[in-house]
C-alpha cells in the first residue's frame, strides 16, 4: 500500500497551504518533536516528519466546542495532542466513544465521502493536529507505517462502534421494558396491556380460539391505605402480586393497570376454564394472612369480573365487559367472581 524509502529517496513536499482556506488552517505549524510523540505517527521516519511539520497545523478548542457535526462536510483528519473529545450520534444517548491523546478523528468521514458520520465535541480545552485531505493522502502514499496504523485504528474504531451500538440497543430495550413494567409488582403495566392486548385478541380471532380476560380489584383497599398507611398498601399489592404469579398458568398474563386493579389474560381458555382459574386465585388470596412489618393486617379479598372474547370484539369492548362484570361483583358484596353470559351468575362469598 505504501512505498518504502531508501536512504537516497526523499519524499516530495506536500503542496503548500493555499490562500483563502478555512481559518483553522492558518493556525501555527507544529514541531517535529511534537509529531514524534503522537501515537498516530509512530514509526514514521524523520524525513517524512520533517516534510510534514511545515504543512501540519495546530487547532485549539475550548470546552464544549464542536469540532465535527453529523451530516456536515469534513475533509480533514484531526490528531489529539492534548485534551479529550467525545463522539455522539444524536446528542441524547451517552457518548459513543472518547478520543484521547494520540488518537485520530475525521478519517471515516474523509474516506466515506466528506460527510461527518457523528458529532464530535471537546470535553475540555483540547489541542489538535490538523491534516487536510491532500496531506492525509500524501502520508498514506509515502508512509507504510502510517497506512498500517490507519487500518488498525479503523478496525478498532469499527469494533468499538459496534460494541457501543449494541450497548445502546440493550440500554434502549431496558428503557422500553421499564416503560412497560410496574416497579412495585414486577408485572406489566397498563401501557403494555394497551399495546399488547389488541395483538393477542387478533391472534385468537384469526385462529378461532377462545380467550378470556379478568379485571381484579382488591376490596376495600382505600381502608388499608387510610388505616395503616400507603406503605402497608404497597405491601398488600406486592403480596397479591406474588399470589397471582403463583396461581396463574405459564401461558397466562397479568398486568398491574393502576391503583389496586389488575388485568388477567387467559389465552386459549373458555369461560368455564377462566372461571375456575379466577376462583382458584380469589380463594388463595382470601385464605392468606397478610402482614406489614410483622404486623398482621385485616383479611384481604378481591373481586373479579370476567369477559369472554366474542367474534366481533376488540380490546376496548372486552375490557369494558370485564369492568362491567367487576362492578357487578362489587355490588353483590365483593370477594366474588362475576361474568357475563346466558344465565350466568357469580360465585364466591360476600
Least confident of 39-48, 129-138, 225-234: 39-48
This prediction's pTM? 0.53
Contact residues for 34 (Cβ-Cβ < 8 A; gap 6+): 81, 129
**Cα angle 125-128-129, degrees, rounded to a multiple of 5:** 165
pLDDT band at 31 (very low <50, low <70, confident <90, very high): confident
Which string of DSSP letters, residue by residue, matches 116-175? -SSEEEESSSEEEEEEEHHHHHHHHHH-HHHHHHHHHHHHHHHHHHHHHHHHHHHHHHHH
Q: According to the per-residue pLDDT averaged within each range, which of 83-87, 90-94, 182-186 is highest?
A: 83-87
For residues 348 and 200, give the distance between their C-alpha atoms in angstroms, rounded to a whole number.
Answer: 29
pLDDT band at 282 (very low <50, low <70, confident <90, very high): very high
Half-sphere exposure of 91 (CA within 13 A, CB side): 7
Residue with cell 492525509: 136
Active site residues: 260
Q: Go through the domains of the chain in sequence order and give each one's CATH number.
A: 23-174 (2.60.120.10), 188-348 (3.30.70.270)
Q: What is the pLDDT of residues 92-147, one digit of tens each?
A: 567 777 888 888 888 888 877 778 888 999 999 999 989 888 888 888 887 778 77
What is the percent of the chain where pLDDT is above 90?
40
Amino acid at each position: 500500500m505504501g512505498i518504502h524509502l531508501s536512504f537516497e529517496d526523499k519524499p516530495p513536499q506536500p503542496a503548500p497551504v493555499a490562500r483563502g482556506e478555512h481559518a483553522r488552517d492558518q493556525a501555527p505549524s507544529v514541531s517535529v518533536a511534537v509529531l514524534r510523540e503522537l501515537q498516530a505517527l509512530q514509526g514514521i521516519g524523520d524525513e517524512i516528519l520533517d516534510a510534514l511539520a511545515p504543512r501540519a497545523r495546530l487547532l485549539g478548542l475550548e470546552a464544549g466546542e464542536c469540532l465535527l457535526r453529523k451530516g456536515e462536510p469534513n475533509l480533514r483528519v484531526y490528531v489529539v495532542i492534548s485534551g479529550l473529545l467525545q463522539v455522539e450520534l444524536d446528542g441524547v444517548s451517552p457518548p459513543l466513544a472518547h478520543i484521547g491523546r494520540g488518537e485520530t478523528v475525521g478519517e471515516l468521514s474523509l474516506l466515506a465521502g466528506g460527510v461527518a458520520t457523528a458529532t464530535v465535541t471537546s470535553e475540555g480545552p483540547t489541542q489538535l493536529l490538523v491534516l487536510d485531505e491532500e496531506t492525509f493522502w500524501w502520508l498514506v502514499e509515502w508512509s507504510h507505517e502510517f497506512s498500517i496504523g490507519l487500518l488498525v485504528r479503523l478496525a478498532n474504531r469499527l469494533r468499538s462502534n459496534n460494541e457501543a451500538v449494541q450497548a445502546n440497543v440493550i440500554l434502549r430495550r431496558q428503557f422500553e421494558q421499564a416503560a412497560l413494567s410496574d416497579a412495585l409488582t414486577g408485572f406489566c403495566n397498563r401501557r403494555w396491556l394497551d399495546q399488547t392486548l389488541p395483538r393477542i385478541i387478533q391472534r385468537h380471532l384469526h385462529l378461532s380460539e377462545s380467550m378470556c380476560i379478568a379485571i381484579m380489584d382488591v376490596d376495600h383497599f382505600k381502608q388499608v391505605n387510610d388505616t395503616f398507611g400507603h406503605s402497608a398498601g404497597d405491601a398488600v399489592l406486592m403480596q397479591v402480586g406474588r399470589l397471582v404469579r403463583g396461581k396463574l398458568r405459564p401461558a397466562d398474563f397479568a398486568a398491574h393497570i393502576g391503583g389496586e386493579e389488575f388485568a388477567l389474560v387467559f389465552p386459549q381458555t373458555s369461560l368455564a376454564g377462566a372461571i375456575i382459574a379466577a376462583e382458584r386465585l380469589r380463594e388463595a388470596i382470601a385464605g392468606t394472612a397478610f402482614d406489614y412489618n410483622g404486623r398482621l393486617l385485616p383479611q384481604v379479598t378481591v373481586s373479579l369480573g370476567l369477559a369472554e372474547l366474542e367474534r366481533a370484539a376488540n380490546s376496548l369492548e372486552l375490557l369494558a365487559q370485564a369492568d362491567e362484570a367487576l362492578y357487578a361483583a362489587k355490588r353483590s358484596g365483593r370477594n366474588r367472581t362475576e361474568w357475563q353470559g346466558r344465565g350466568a351468575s357469580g360465585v364466591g362469598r360476600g
